[in-house]
């Protein structure tokens, strides 16, 4: 097999201000750190970086609130207590119902708030760091929860959802980027990838109330968390970066020298990126090879809905439209929720052996088959057809949570340039939320008997969008498994095609005695070798 070898030539450090001797020492230490971490198995990496894994997982729990609420709000649309409190009379059924317009409005209110949160985080995380940003918005979250809990009407509930959406938007990108920056390459995928039967208003209020469980402990815990060393280096706070690295490492012999090597690696990669994106704004995300990286983030995020997950997020309404009773719909929704846990565990088992792009595309293909069959069953009638739809919905959800759902996070965290990581992920998540708004407008109308009344046939629409996403992935989504940030930067900078990412040899520390003023050169080595 023909492979390519990509190396930097020193031009990346032109803006670093380092002397040749300091540059050589920096590269040597960085190479030592890289070589050491590459030899770690997953369990060895967990053992060595216990503290880093703990803090990454701890801050990632902030996503529970956003995921919990955005899932539960769509479940309310079919809940008797919620419809009794906020619904309008439907002459056809003689019961109260939440109109498709209000279903879209409530779901989109949170999305709009998240868009604002993403824009705010674009400034605050780069300016103030991860910890202060997380702490401030965790406090804001605790305050804004009061609005939906005591909402007397749908407009106030929508306003509350929008206000809660602002901190959710911050958590969406902050937790993902923090997690991928505090752990080694071997663990990035793991730390980046949770109805009551009460009568009356508590049936819908309790899920909102339960969110108060999270802000206080997360706020306190974040106060004691170490700052992201990558974030600290990018802000020029080298002492803070070293202090954080010391806290993230286990107390072992040679800890200080390992920290120095890790710090050198972070500086090495940051300086490599700085020549391309120094003082870059959002426009830089759409220039040169950064445009491809931004494209990947946008499509991979948008595919979270377009893969068919739009149906899964409206599972209760979808099942009722397919002929299930309210009780049956909620019971099956519990089974769907269990898939989130089971699927996540299975995906963790897959990550060491299967590439992110392979997992992602395999999941899209599996969901496509399920969606086509579900859509076809929209023309069938009877208990057998209903049972088949329910079973396929569970299987489709399981495929989603094993593949597309968790694999998205390491992809969007690894593909951006380091100095543009926050901005690129924010742009991608912005596209995700806009796609979600469109989904929230269309899907309720597809399912509602008062509007388009597609029922299970909606599966065919999302089978089509799923197929388009998978075709794009085959052409444009590169494989980043087992690649360091520095290697990924070089692969993009040298415009290596997506299908060749996996088999291209990269030496990010090669310097070959060239001076820092020389023009970049890409060395291509043609030879035959076995590739894992």
SS (H, E, C) 294-358: HHHHHHHHHHHHHCCHHHHHCHHHHHHHCCCCHHHHHHHHHHHHHHHHHHHHHHHHHCCCCCHHH
pLDDT band (50, 70, 90) for residue 252: confident
- Mean pLDDT over 368-372 rounds to 95
pLDDT number for residue 195:
35
User: What's the rounded mean pLDDT across residues 349-375?
Assistant: 92
Rounded Cα gap, residues 286 and 105, in angstroms: 32
Which has more confidence, 343 or 140?
A: 140
Backbone angles phi, psi at 99, to 5 degrees: -65, 155
User: Does 117 have pLDDT greater than 60?
Assistant: yes
In a domain, 29, yes or no: no
Q: Which of 481, 485, 515, 227 is nearest to 357 (CA)?
A: 481
In a domain, 402, yes or no: yes
Q: Is residue 262 part of a domain?
A: no
Q: Is residue 151 part of a domain?
A: no
Whether residue 108 lies inside any domain: the answer is no
Question: Which carries the bigger pLDDT value, residue 288 or residue 208?
Answer: 288
Top pLDDT among 531 and 503 is at 503
- Does some domain include residue 518? no
Q: Which residue has the higher pLDDT, 13 or 420?
A: 420
Beta strands (DSSP E) in 139-213 are: none
In a domain, 195, yes or no: no
Tokens 């801050």 found at: 59
pLDDT band at 37 (very low <50, low <70, confident <90, very high): low
Q: pLDDT band at residue 197, thresholds of 50, 70 and 90?
A: very low
Question: Which stretch of DSSP H or E encloses residue 96?
Answer: strand 95-97
Q: Identify the DSSP state of 226.
A: P
Most confident of 11-20, 27-36, 142-151: 142-151
For residue 318, give the CATH number of its domain: 1.20.1250.20
Would you say residue 333 lies in a domain?
yes
Measured distance CA(48)–CA(375) in Å, rounded: 49
Backbone phi and psi for residue 506, each to the nearest 5 degrees, phi listed first: -125, 130
294 vs 115, which has greater pLDDT? 294
How confident is the model at residue 12, as a pLDDT?
A: 46
In the prediction, which pLDDT does 420 show? Answer: 84
Query: Which distant-in-sequence residues (6+ apart) come within 8 Å of 438 by Cβ?
Result: none
Query: The tokens of 3 are what?
Result: 């492979």
Q: Domain containing 447: what range?
A: 307-471
Domain count, the chain: 1
Alpha-carbon gap, residue 417 to 513, rounded angstroms: 26
Axis-axis angle for helices 326-350, 383-402 (nearest 10): 30
The CA distance from 13 to 233, in Å, is 15
pLDDT tens string 168-186: 888 877 877 777 676 666 6
144 pLDDT above the threshold of 80: yes
Q: Is 528 helix (H, G, I), strand (E, B) or coil?
A: strand
Torsion angles phi and psi, residue 385, rounded to 5: -65, -40
Q: How far is CA 524 from CA 3, 366, 494, 517, 519, in A?
A: 8, 37, 11, 21, 16
């Amino acid at each position: 097999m023909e492979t390519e070898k990509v190396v930097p030539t020193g031009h990346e450090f032109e803006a670093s201000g380092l002397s040749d001797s300091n540059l050589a020492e920096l590269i040597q230490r960085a190479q030592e750190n890289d070589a050491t971490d590459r030899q770690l198995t997953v369990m060895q990496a967990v053992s060595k970086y216990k503290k880093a894994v703990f803090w990454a997982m701890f801050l990632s729990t902030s996503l529970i609130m956003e995921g919990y609420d955005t899932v539960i709000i769509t479940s309310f649309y079919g809940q008797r207590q919620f419809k009794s409190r906020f619904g309008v009379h439907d002459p056809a059924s003689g019961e109260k119902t939440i109109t498709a317009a209000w279903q879209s409005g409530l779901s989109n209110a949170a999305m709009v708030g998240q868009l604002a949160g993403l824009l705010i985080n674009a400034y605050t995380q780069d300016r103030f760091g991860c910890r202060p940003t997380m702490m401030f918005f965790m406090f804001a979250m605790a305050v804004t929860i009061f609005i939906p809990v005591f909402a007397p009407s749908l407009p106030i509930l929508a306003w509350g959802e929008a206000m809660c959406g602002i901190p959710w938007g911050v958590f969406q990108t902050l937790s993902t980027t923090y997690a991928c920056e505090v752990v080694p390459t071997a663990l990035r995928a793991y730390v980046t990838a949770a109805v009551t039967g009460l009568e009356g208003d508590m049936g819908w209020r309790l899920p909102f109330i339960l969110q108060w469980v999270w802000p206080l402990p997360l706020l306190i815990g974040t106060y004691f968390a170490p700052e992201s060393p990558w974030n600290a280096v990018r802000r020029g706070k080298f002492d803070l970066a070293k202090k954080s690295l010391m806290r993230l490492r286990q107390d072992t012999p040679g800890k200080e020298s390992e920290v120095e090597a890790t710090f050198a690696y972070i500086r090495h990669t940051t300086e490599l990126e700085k020549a391309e994106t120094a003082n870059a704004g959002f426009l830089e995300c759409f220039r040169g090879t950064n445009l491809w990286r931004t494209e990947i983030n946008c499509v991979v995020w948008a595919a979270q809905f377009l893969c068919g997950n739009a149906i899964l997020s409206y599972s209760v309404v979808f099942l009722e439209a397919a002929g299930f009773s309210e009780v049956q719909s909620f019971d099956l929704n519990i089974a769907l929720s269990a898939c989130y846990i089971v699927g996540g565990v299975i995906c963790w088992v897959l990550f060491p052996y299967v590439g992110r792009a392979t997992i992602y595309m395999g999941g899209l293909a599996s969901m496509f088959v399920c969606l086509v069959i579900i859509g076809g069953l929209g023309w069938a009638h009877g208990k057998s057809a209903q049972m088949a739809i329910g079973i396929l919905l569970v299987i489709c959800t399981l495929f989603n949570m094993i593949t597309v759902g968790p694999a998205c996070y390491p992809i969007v965290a690894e593909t951006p340039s380091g100095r543009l990581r926050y901005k690129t992920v924010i742009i991608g998540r912005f596209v995700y939320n806009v796609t979600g708004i469109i989904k929230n407008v269309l899907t309720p109308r597809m399912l509602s008997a008062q509007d388009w009344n597609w029922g299970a046939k909606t599966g065919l629409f999302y089978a089509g969008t799923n197929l388009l996403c998978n075709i794009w992935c085959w052409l444009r989504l590169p494989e980043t498994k087992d690649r360091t940030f520095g290697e990924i930067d070089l692969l993009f900078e040298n415009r290596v095609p997506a299908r060749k990412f996996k088999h291209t040899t990269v030496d990010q520390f090669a310097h070959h005695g060239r001076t820092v003023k020389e023009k970049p050169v890409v060395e291509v080595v043609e030879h035959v070798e076995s590739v894992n």
